[in-house]
Amino acid sequence: MVFDRNEFVQRLTSCRDAMAKRGVDVLVDSDPANMNYLTGYDGWSFYVPQAVVVTLDDDEPLWIGRGVDVGGARLTTYLSDDSIIEWPDHLVDNPDEHPMDFIGAVLAERGHGNAVIGIERDCYFFTPRCRDALKTALPNASFVDTDRLVNWVRLVKSDAEIEVMAQAARVTEGIMAAFFDAVEPGVRECDVIAKVYGAQAGGTTEYGGDYCCVAPMMPTGTGTSAAHLTWSDRRFVKGEAAFLETAGVRHRYHVPMVRTLHLGAPPQRLLDTCKAVVDGIDEAIAAARPGSRCEDVEAAWRRTIARHGVTKKSRIGYSIGIGYPPDWGEHTASLRSGDETVLEENMTFHAVCGIWKDDWGLNISEPIRISKAGGVRFADVPRDLLVKT
């Protein structure tokens, strides 16, 4: 157990408070990050339907998943065996019967047939068929979309979570150092990624790394005009740039980072854009104080880069914490125009400032924690364009 029982009780209380406010009796949540947050559950089983079920009055949440994953639930959650329920294996990839039929039947048996049931209408791994199955199994229940209820509860981190993220940040630093060391003209991209993965899993001598929920993304050359490419067998050549975007991870908590590396003397346009971006991030971080709004942070960035003649239309960051594939973002607060979320201490963000042009780009980011004095960087990695000559 990474966190003590009190931490989970606190999380459960916050979740129930949010449910009560929305008039929800029973929450069915299949988001693996939310399942981990509520119970500690950690297994690569989210490719089959599963859920954590929270009611307003049961002592513990229920974990309901595939039989072969019950062992993992016993090992990784704080739940008693009675709260761990398995669905039978013939339901895997079965066109006629679905695991959510089973989960719906469990809810009916437990007396929730007339309840207000909260579901997540837009979360990964909860498909239209999942919702259809629950509605069929519980014809007299009413269903409400809880709009990422648990994700919003996750927004402000506990001190214990911040400590885990600080450990992840040490791994992030090691990854970026490995990246810088490995890139050389003539080296294959895949061999650079091998070193990146090594640093990501190996972590530090004090503690190991966990898997990152996103594959390392490393667009190179003209590929730097694209945001989410991974890598190839290509060999690096002098005079080109590469981004690396990945995260140090500890107990599923992600501290992501992007850096851009240039092999050889960089073109002036890249240096100029970099100066604008670094200034912009500095101003954005300074503006990330408790009481400010998310949109104020983005406005500070936009004002600053405008002075350098640079513009950018996409958001510049989002809340981070626990991550499972496909995304380390929490899908709640965004650093962008129009987001009026008020910052509080111990919220954590990935401020990511990519500039994409037709055939080149620059991408630099900082993972930060909101403190009384403004944003604080989690990781200590050189902030400018990385240049290797």
- Restricted to residues 56-95, the positions that interact with its own copies (CB under 8 A) are 67-72, 74-76, 89-90, 92-93, 95
Residues 227-256 that bind its own copies (CB under 8 A): 227-233
Single out the residue of 28, 117, 217, 322 in contact with its own copies (rule: CB under 8 A).
Answer: 217
Nearer to its own copies, 354 or 367 (CB): 354
Angle between helices 5-22 and 32-39 (to 10 degrees): 120
Among positions 302-321, residues that touch its own copies (CB under 8 A) are: 313-315, 318
State the DSSP code for 181. Answer: H
Residue 296 C-beta: closest distance to its own copies, Å: 18
Q: Which residues are CB-contacts of 389 (< 8 A; sequence separation ≥ 6)? A: 264, 265
Closer CB to its own copies, 228 or 372, in the complex: 228
Residue 78 or residue 387: which is nearer to its own copies going by CB?
78
Q: 3-class DSSP state for residue 279?
A: helix
Q: How many residues bind its own copies (CB under 8 A)?
A: 86
Q: What is the DSSP string of 318-379?
A: EEEEEEETTEEEEEEEESSTT--PBP-TTBEEEEEEEEE-SS-EEEEEEEEEEETTEEEESS
Q: State which of residues 329, 368, 385, 386 lies at the interface with its own copies (CB under 8 A).
A: 329
Per CB under 8 A, contacts with its own copies among 100-119 are: 119
Nearer to its own copies, 317 or 387 (CB): 317
Residues within window 32-61 making contact with its own copies, judged by CB under 8 A? 42-47
CA distance 21 to 84: 27
| Segment 195 to 214, residues that bind its own copies, using CB under 8 A | 195-203, 207-211, 214
Question: Can you name the residues that pair with 370 across neighbouring β-strands?
Answer: 375
Q: How far is the CB of 345 from its own copies (least distance, A)?
A: 23
Residue 48: burial class (beta carbons within 10 Å; 0-12, 13-18, 19+): middle
**C-alpha 323 chain-centroid distance:** 4
**What part of residues 349-378 is at the interface with its own copies (CB under 8 A)?**
354, 356
Examine residue 122 and tell whether it contacts its own copies (CB under 8 A).
Answer: yes
- What is the closest distance, in whole angstroms, from the C-beta atom of residue 86 to its own copies in the complex? 11
Query: What are the two backbone dihedrals, phi and then psi, of residue 248, each rounded to the nearest 5 degrees?
Result: -80, 140
CB of 372 to its own copies, least distance (A): 27
